[in-house]
Structure formats: structure tokens, C-alpha cells
């Protein structure tokens, strides 16, 4: 969702040679056997730092600081406690001083225990957990009782089965997509198609002539196929009146061919290798699609490729310029016409919306359109006027083709993989088809999806009411912890503190999945307009699902908002906070080991999933979330002095994180990442505050050297253990508003005195600096 703050972790690559992996497997077996039979002291781990050739060799003594037994000498062994201990042994590098580099200490062995899959160029614990959820969804769908399943589960299973029919996909190649583009006629009359000529791709189809207004083509590509080409359109809550759903049009969140916030790749000459690979992929795909569309061996003109890329570069430039623009006004049709008479707004909305949606937008007495970047739209309209129609068409249809590539035959996915090897780092093997299909079935955040159906199947097999109740209690405790931190914030004046507390108290919590997920009648109602025709290709079904999702989203325009609606797929491994709802969502896909587990130690649950809960709640008080009140309306509830102090404290984080750099790659942009860094720090403090209200638990029998507090902070790192590569790290620094994993750990923990105390770090050691940043 465009205005929601989300937790997303970009994982990167670390190369591990086969001998190193095999060596680790052997030494781990020996070591774990020793560790699990000798509980009287810390294990003996490597005597030196890891090298690129493989995991650290065994031998030497631990540098784990001595500690006082704060939770007594009792120990406990259970399947859950022992599994947690095994997880620690598989990733903690005891040869590293935790007071000098806690990330390497806590995650140093992770790459060796978790080699990068051959089909990926990035790998981390978050990705690993997400893939396990996918496997469980696959298991749940494949074993669901079709006769007794809800309509939602049946439809999800149908889509999955069609996606997994690789033989059919290979036989069809790109013929169905090519036919749709060339003729505009879909395989089945119930599927979306193109108006005459408007789907043709001039780069291969020399019969193309300008047959439709651009306003029509832009609207149709979104409504029929879910593709935003020149602006992003989305129905969401209005910032200034959170009980109202409006149509949001923006340039700030427009994803280009390389993704969201990727303008730097187009505009900075140092990324020429990426742009060259991008054009090479376009050329290869064009040749394949020309063949499969019946055009034969078409000559792909470099002039056409350059013209298409030039449109995208211009969009990248004006998108980048729009990031500082913000207009919260609602616009009537007359307002829009006054902005520009060169753009036919009436035609645009007719082709973007269904009949009811169009009527709502046309009604001037109750405006529903928020054009938050008016200067962006002026620039886009000028771009449409000044560019060659053929170049614009090539770009627009390319965006649809680029989306479709993962769902076509291997020749197409190979072209995409070759590009991604340059863009994100090399992967040697193809992505398993099941992974592609499951990612599609699980759904995302932006649009309605099959995630609710997937959650039903998954929840019935792998989740239960006790787990849901337990996780609710945990999150409620963290919320109380955040409230305590706010109450103790002496830098706030009384009125601002009272407003902050009111917001924290009123913050809604959605846990696991909405109540209606397990209700067959409700599932049938939710998916009733999603009809699945027989005997059509998967790419057509895929685009049909996109169209259903877009129209279902637009149906919400002017519908009163229910703040407790579950917005987003419950099966995704990613929590989120929505400022306009003042609501935090912890989906089922996030409530997974090693982040959360029923009957697992409190230190694990609160240090991991508790920190995530605190992180999302803290987004309500970061540089963006702090602009919204307890009811989700955007207005300033801060006193002048309190706001000034808040800005001073966030500036401390900006300055601090801007000093964290990767040699030969670049430094973190402290300004771009300040919201996430603020949430990391506030979230971990809230989770720790909640954790310390609980009675101490017995130590882990299999790892008795760790105190409760040490386990808590070690659990916090579990999200961020990952393998790293230069390409993916550089991409994260350029495009992501999260700091790279290493510094999410180090940067957060260096600001928490309780961490230094837990690990007995000497004053002014790297992890125990004299100067700290603090929000709460």
C-alpha cells in the first residue's frame, strides 16, 4: 500500500564454496554432538575470524563475556527450547567479540549453515522463512479436501495447478500473450482484452498505428491488466479524513521497469552495465515474441530500443523530482481540467474505472480524487505530448510484457535471469516453478489477492486458536511496553505526551488473519466475482486475476472505512503499519520459527517477533507516522518545543547511520532510512520493556551459558542473518528505505545500554559508545 510503512528486508549474497559447506556440515555435526552432551560451560568455537574460503576452523576459546546468572541455575530441555539452542549454535561465531561486532558474532556462521540456493543471488533468514511458508501453503493446498474446502481455497488451488502445468506453458511459449497484444482479443470472452490496436507492440508489430488516445490506453492497461505505466492509481484512505476512501493518483510510487525507487539506475552513467543488460533483455524478448506472434524473424531496430528506454529515463527523472512534492487536496473533474486541458481526464477515468466508479469520480459535489503530485502530472502530460507515439507505446506494452515474463516459457525466463544476474548478482540455476507459483498465490500488499484463501488452507493445517491467542497477548504486552516508554519520555511536554499516549492506546492490532478467513460463506463472498474460465492459458488467468484485483480495489472508492479490515495478504512474511488506520498488522506468514513459536522461550519470542511488533507500532511515531493522529487523520498534534526535540533526536539517527559504509560500495543514506531506523530502535526498546515485566525462565539446557537478556538480543538478530553480495548491497543502498541488515543490528544495539550491560561490554568499546541516540 502506497502510504503504509512496511517491514521489508532486502537480502543479499555471500559466496560459499562447496568445500566450505561440506567442512561446516562435518564440523557442526561433531560440535553439536559435543555441545549437546556437555552443558557445563560454553562451547569452544573458532579462534579467528572467518575467511572467504570457508567457515572458521574449530579450536581456540570463546570470547563470550562472563556474566552473572541473572535467571538462576535452573535449566530446561524441551523440543522447543532445544530447537532454539540448536539455532544459536548454527549461527553464533564465538570467536568474535560481541562487544566489537555483534552482527558477526550473532550471524557469523549463518552463511555456512545456510548456503545460498543455486537459483538465488540473495539469501537471508527472512527469505528462508518466507520460502518455508510457501512450502507449507503448497502442502496445505495439495492436501486440502476439495469437496469440503471453501470456494476461495478451490480457486487458489485451481490457479496453483494451472501455474504448475509447465508442459502447457512450454508448449504455448509466448503465443497467447503475443496473440492478445496483436489482435486485442482474449482467449475467452470473460477475460480482459484490448481495444482495437491499442495492445500492439510496435517494436515487432509493424502494422501498429495510433488508434486510441493515450488517456484511454493508460486507463485500460491498469484496469485490464493491473499495470501502472505513467502514474500509479489506487483506492485508499484519505490522509485528512481517514474514514473516507478516495482514488489516489501519484507519480512518487510509480514502479518503472527496474522497480520502485530505481531512478538512479536510469540517470547515473555508472550503471551503464545494468542499462545495457536491460536493453539486451528487451531485444531477446522481442525476438521471441515476434516468433510466437507469427511475425517471423523481425529486425529489432536499435532506434526503437533507444526510444523506448528514453521514455523510461524521462519518467525516472520526473518521478525522482516528485519525491518532495505533496498535495493533500481532493480534486473535482473541473479542478483536473484546469490543471491541464491537454489531458482528457474524462476518457482516462472511463477506461480506468467501471461504470459505478466513473460516476463517483464525476460527481463534483463529493470529490474523491487526490492528485498528490500535480507538478508530476504536468510533466507527464508534457512527456505524452512531446514524445513519439511509437516510443510511448513501446514502453507501455513493454511494462505488461516485463510483468508477464516469469509466467512464460523457459526461453523468456532465461532472458529475464540473464538480466537479473547483472542487476542483482549471479544465480546459476532457474527458480523452481513452484516458488514462482506460490509467490503468486500468496499475494502481496498492494491489491486484493488469493492470500486469504491461502491463509485458510494454511491456517487449518499449521495454525490454531491457542497460537493466535498467545501471539495476541505477546503483541498486547509490547504495546503496553511502548506506552510505558512514552509515559517516561521527559522530553515531551504534557499535552504532546498525552496525544502520543492516546494514539498508542487507540492503535488497532490485527493478528494472523481476519476472523472471516475460516468462514466458507465469507470466502465465497470475497471471491464471488473471480470466475475462472476453463481451457485457457495460465498467463491469461494471471492477467484476469490482476484485473479482478484492480476493480475490487476501486470498488472501495467512497465506501466507509472499517479500520479493522485486514488490508494485505495474511500469508506474507512481512508485518506492516498503516498510518491512516493507526493500525498494525502481524500476518500469519510472519508468525513463524525462528521469529515466533508456541511454547518457545519468551526471550526468543519477545526478542524476535516482539521487536517486529514494536517496530511497526513505532512507525506510528516516526518522521512520517508522527504526522497522523490517533484516528488516522493527518494533522499536527505536536507542540513546537516537542517537535523540535523530536527532530533533534531523529537527526542524531540520521547523522549516525550516514557514517555506516560498505567499502567500495557506498554509505547508508541516513535521511532516506531514518523512519526505519527509528522504528528499529523504538521497537526493540518496547519489546525489551515488555520482556522485562515477565518472570525469568530457566536457562536453555543445551546452551546454559546464555542469560535471558543475551538470548533476547540474540533473537533480535535472527531476522537479519544473511549472505551478502556487492550488487544487492548496492541496490539496497540506492533504492531501499531500510538500512542493510548488518547495520540494522549494529546501529540499533549500539544505542541500547541494556545490550552492553547484558554482554558486559567495556565503556567505549565499539558496541558500547559514549554517544547514543534515543527517541524513547
Task: For 586-603, write each residue's pLDDT tens digit.
Answer: 999 999 999 999 999 999
Is residue 41 predicted with pLDDT exceeding 70? no
Cα 44 from Cα 138, distance rounded (Å)? 40
Cα 399 from Cα 301, distance rounded (Å)? 19
Interhelix angle for 175-183 vs 272-292, to 10°? 80
Judge whether 518 lies within some domain: no
Interhelix angle for 389-404 vs 214-225, to 10°? 0
Is residue 623 predicted with pLDDT exceeding 60? yes
Q: 340 versus 27: which is more confidently predicted?
A: 340
Cα 353 from Cα 332, distance rounded (Å)? 16
pLDDT over 70 percentage in the chain: 90
Instruction: Find out whether 121 and 725 touch, Cβ atoms under 8 Å.
Output: yes
Number of domains making up the chain: 1
Judge whether 425 lies within some domain: no
Q: Which residues of 597-624 are buried (b: 16+ CB within 10 A; e: fewer)?
A: bbebbbbbbbbbbbbbbbbbbbbbbbbb
Q: 8 versus 527: which is more confidently predicted?
A: 527
Across 431-440, 708-717, 725-734, which has the greatest mean pLDDT? Answer: 708-717
Is residue 50 predicted with pLDDT exceeding 60? no
Q: How confident is the model at residue 11 (pLDDT cuts 50, 70, 90)?
A: very low
Per DSSP, 323 falls in state G
Strand order across the beta sheet in which 583-587 lies: 5-6, 576-578, 583-587, 508-512
User: How far apart, in Å, are the Cα atoms of 434 and each of 67, 163, 594?
Assistant: 47, 8, 23
Is residue 221 predicted with pLDDT exceeding 50? yes
Cα 378 from Cα 343, distance rounded (Å)? 9
pLDDT digits (tens, 9 = 90+) for 634-670: 989 999 999 999 999 999 999 999 999 999 999 999 9
Is residue 39 predicted with pLDDT exceeding 50? no
Is residue 96 predicted with pLDDT exceeding 80? yes
Please, which residues have CB within 8 angstroms of residue 280's CB and are 6 or more apart in sequence? 418, 419
Average model confidence (pLDDT) across the chain: 88
Across 99-113, 258-272, 352-366, 446-460, which has the greatest mean pLDDT? Answer: 99-113
Is residue 277 predicted with pLDDT exceeding 60? yes
Residue by residue, DSSP assigns 621-650 as GSTTGGGB-TTS-B-----HHHHHHHHHHH
In sequence order, what are the beta bridge partners of 585? 510, 576
Judge whether 235 lies within some domain: no
Judge whether 308 lies within some domain: no
Q: How confident is the model at residue 196 (pLDDT cuts 50, 70, 90)?
A: confident
Judge whether 342 lies within some domain: no
Full residue range of the structural domain in which residue 63 is found: 18-113
Averaged over 552-581, what is the pLDDT?
91
In sequence order, what are the beta bridge partners of 76? 700
Cα dihedral value 85, 90, 91, 94, nearest 10: 80
Cα 176 from Cα 322, distance rounded (Å)? 37
Is residue 326 predicted with pLDDT exceeding 90? no
Strands 583-587 and 576-578: antiparallel
Judge whether 83 lies within some domain: yes
Instruction: Find out whether 198 and 185 touch, Cβ atoms under 8 Å.
Output: no
Averaged over 434-461, what is the pLDDT?
90
Closest by CA to 538, choosing from 159, 157, 178, is 159
User: How far apart, in Å, are the Cα atoms of 412 and each of 398, 458, 546, 738?
Assistant: 13, 32, 20, 32
Is residue 119 predicted with pLDDT exceeding 90? no
Tracing cell 515477565 back to the chain, one arrives at 694
pLDDT digits (tens, 9 = 90+) for 671-696: 999 999 999 999 999 999 999 999 99
In sequence order, what are the beta bridge partners of 294? none
Tracing cell 515485566 back to the chain, one arrives at 693
Q: How confident is the model at residue 721 (pLDDT cuts 50, 70, 90)?
A: very high
Cell of 713: 538480543
Judge whether 373 lies within some domain: no
Q: Which burial class, exposed, middle or buried, applies to 658 when counting CB atoms under 10 A from its CB (0-12, 13-18, 19+)? A: middle
Q: How confident is the model at residue 99 (pLDDT cuts 50, 70, 90)?
A: very high
Is residue 203 predicted with pLDDT exceeding 90? yes
Neighbours of 127 (CB within 10 A): 20
Cα 219 from Cα 227, distance rounded (Å)? 9
pLDDT over 90 percentage in the chain: 75
Is residue 52 predicted with pLDDT exceeding 90? no
The pLDDT of residue 14 is: 29
Judge whether 174 lies within some domain: no
Is residue 8 predicted with pLDDT exceeding 50? no
pLDDT digits (tens, 9 = 90+) for 374-406: 999 999 999 999 999 999 999 999 999 999 999
Q: Report if pTM > 0.75.
A: yes
pLDDT digits (tens, 9 = 90+) for 407-432: 999 999 999 999 999 988 776 678 89
Amino acid at each position: 500500500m502506497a502510504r503504509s510503512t512496511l517491514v521489508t528486508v532486502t537480502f543479499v549474497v555471500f559466496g560459499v564454496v562447496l568445500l566450505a559447506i561440506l567442512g561446516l556440515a562435518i564440523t557442526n555435526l561433531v560440535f553439536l554432538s559435543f555441545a549437546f552432551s556437555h552443558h557445563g560451560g560454553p562451547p569452544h568455537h573458532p579462534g579467528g575470524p572467518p575467511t572467504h574460503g570457508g567457515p572458521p576452523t574449530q579450536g581456540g576459546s570463546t570470547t563470550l563475556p562472563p556474566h552473572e546468572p541473572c535467571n538462576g541455575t535452573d535449566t530446561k530441555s524441551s523440543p522447543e527450547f532445544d530447537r532454539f539452542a540448536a539455532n544459536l549454535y548454527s549461527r553464533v561465531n564465538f570467536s568474535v567479540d560481541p562487544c566489537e561486532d555483534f552482527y558477526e558474532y550473532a550471524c557469523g556462521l549463518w552463511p555456512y549453515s545456510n548456503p545460498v540456493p543455486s537459483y538465488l543471488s540473495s539469501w537471508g533468514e527472512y527469505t528462508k522463512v518466507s520460502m518455508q511458508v510457501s512450502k507449507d501453503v503448497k502442502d496445505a493446498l495439495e492436501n486440502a479436501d476439495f469437496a469440503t474446502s471453501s470456494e476461495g481455497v478451490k480457486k487458489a488451488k485451481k490457479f496453483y495447478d494451472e501455474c504448475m502445468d509447465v508442459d502447457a506453458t512450454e508448449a504455448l511459449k509466448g503465443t497467447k500473450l503475443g496473440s492478445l497484444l496483436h489482435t486485442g482479443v482474449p482467449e475467452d470472452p470473460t477475460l480482459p482484452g484490448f481495444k482495437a490496436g491499442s495492445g500492439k507492440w510496435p517494436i515487432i508489430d509493424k502494422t501498429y498505428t495510433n488508434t486510441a488516445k493515450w488517456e484511454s490506453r493508460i486507463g485500460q492497461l491498469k484496469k485490464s491488466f493491473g499495470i501502472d505505466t505513467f502514474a500509479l492509481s489506487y483506492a485508499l484512505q484519505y490522509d485528512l479524513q481517514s474514514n473516507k476512501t478516495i482514488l489516489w493518483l501519484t507519480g512518487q510510487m510509480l514502479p518503472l521497469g527496474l522497480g520502485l525507487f530505481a531512478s538512479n539506475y536510469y540517470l547515473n552513467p555508472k550503471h551503464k552495465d545494468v542499462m545495457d543488460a536491460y536493453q539486451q533483455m528487451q531485444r531477446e524478448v522481442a525476438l521471441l515474441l515476434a516468433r510466437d506472434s507469427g511475425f517471423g524473424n523481425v529486425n529489432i531496430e536499435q532506434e526503437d530500443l533507444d526510444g523506448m528506454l528514453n521514455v523510461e529515463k524521462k519518467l525516472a527523472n520526473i518521478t525522482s523530482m516528485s519525491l518532495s512534492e505533496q498535495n493533500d487536496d481532493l480534486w473535482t473533474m473541473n479542478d483536473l481540467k484546469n490543471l491541464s486541458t491537454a489531458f482528457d481526464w474524462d476518457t482516462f477515468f472511463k477506461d480506468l474505472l467501471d461504470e459505478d466508479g466513473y460516476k463517483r469520480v464525476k460527481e463534483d459535489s463529493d470529490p474523491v480524487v487526490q492528485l498528490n503530485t500535480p507538478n508530476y502530472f504536468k510533466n507527464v502530460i508534457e512527456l505524452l505530448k512531446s514524445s513519439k507515439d511509437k516510443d510511448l507505446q513501446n514502453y507501455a506494452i513493454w511494462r505488461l510484457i516485463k510483468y508477464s515474463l516469469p509466467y512464460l516459457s523457459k526461453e523468456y525466463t532465461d532472458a529475464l535471469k540473464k538480466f537479473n544476474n547483472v542487476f542483482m548478482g549471479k544465480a546459476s540455476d532457474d527458480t523452481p516453478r513452484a516458488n514462482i507459483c506460490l509467490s503468486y498465490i500468496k499475494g502481496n500488499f498492494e491489491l486484493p489477492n488469493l492470500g486469504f484463501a491461502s491463509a485458510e488452507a494454511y491456517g487449518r493445517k499449521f495454525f490454531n486458536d491457542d497460537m493466535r491467542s498467545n501471539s495476541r497477548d505477546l503483541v498486547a504486552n509490547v504495546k503496553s511496553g511502548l506506552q510505558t516508554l512514552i509515559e517516561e519520555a521527559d522530553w515531551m511536554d504534557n499535552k504532546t505526551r498525552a496525544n502520543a499516549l492516546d494514539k498508542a492506546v487507540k492503535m488497532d492490532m490485527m493478528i494472523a488473519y481476519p476472523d472471516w478467513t475460516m468462514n466458507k460463506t465469507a470466502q465465497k463472498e470475497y471471491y464471488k466475482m473471480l470466475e475462472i474460465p476453463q481451457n485457457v492459458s495460465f498467463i491469461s488467468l494471471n492477467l484476469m486475476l490482476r484485473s479482478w484485483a484492480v476493480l475490487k480495489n476501486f470498488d472501495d472508492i467512497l465506501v466507509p472505512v472499517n479500520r479493522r479490515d485486514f488490508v494485505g495478504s495474511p500469508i506474507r512474511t512481512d508485518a506492516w503499519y498503516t498510518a491512516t488506520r493507526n493500525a498494525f498488522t502481524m500476518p500469519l506468514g510472519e508468525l513463524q520459527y525462528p521469529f515466533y513459536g508456541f511454547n518457545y522461550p519468551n526471550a526468543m519470542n519477545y526478542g524476535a517477533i516482539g521487536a517486529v511488533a514494536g517496530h511497526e507500532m513505532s512507525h506510528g511515531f516516526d518522521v512520517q507516522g508522527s504526522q497522523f493522529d490517533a484516528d488516522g487523520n493527518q494533522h499536527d498534534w505536536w507542540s513546537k518545543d516537542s517537535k523540535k526535540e523530536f527532530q533533534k533526536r531523529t537527526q542524531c539517527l540520521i547523522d549516525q547511520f550516514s557514517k555506516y559504509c560498505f567499502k567500495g560500495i557506498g554509505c547508508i543514506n541516513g535521511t532516506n532510512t531514518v523512519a526505519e531506523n527509528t522504528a528499529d530502535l523504538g521497537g526493540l526498546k518496547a519489546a525489551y520493556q515488555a520482556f522485562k515485566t515477565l518472570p525469568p525462565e530457566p536457562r536453555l539446557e543445551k546452551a546454559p551459558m546464555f542469560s535471558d537478556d543475551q538470548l533476547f538480543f540474540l533473537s533480535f538478530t535472527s531476522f537479519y542473518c544473511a549472505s551478502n553480495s556487492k550488487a544487492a548491497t548496492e541496490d539496497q543502498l540506492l533504492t531501499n528505505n531500510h538500512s542493510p541488515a548488518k547495520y540494522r543490528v549494529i546501529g540499533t544495539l549500539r544505542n541500547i545500554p541494556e545490550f552492553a550491560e547484558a554482554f558486559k561490554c567495556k565503556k567505549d568499546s565499539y558496541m558500547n559508545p559514549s554517544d547514543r541516540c534515543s527517541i524513547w
